[in-house]
Amino acid sequence: YIESGDHENLIHVSKGGFLELMGGQEHMTISFPDD
């Protein structure tokens, strides 16, 4: 049960980090040509 929860938490963190990274890159890409 702990292993399953740990795995779920890992996926949640990875997904959140990936979304944050994509959002940051998207913002940077939009801001770069705007500047």
Q: What is the DSSP string of 1-35?
A: -HHHHHHHHHHHHHHHHHHHHHHHHHHHHHHHHH-
Please give the torsion angle defined by the CA atoms of residues 20, 8, 6 and 11, in that order, rounded to the nearest 10 degrees: -30
In tens, the pLDDT along 1-35 reads 456 666 666 666 666 666 666 666 665 555 555 55
Query: Would you say the pTM of this structure is higher than 0.75?
Result: no
Q: Is 14 exposed, middle or buried (0-12, 13-18, 19+ CB in 10 A)?
A: exposed
Q: What does the pLDDT read at residue 23?
A: 64
pLDDT at 18: 66
Q: Given this model, what pLDDT does residue 4 score?
A: 60
According to the model, what pLDDT value does residue 1 have?
46
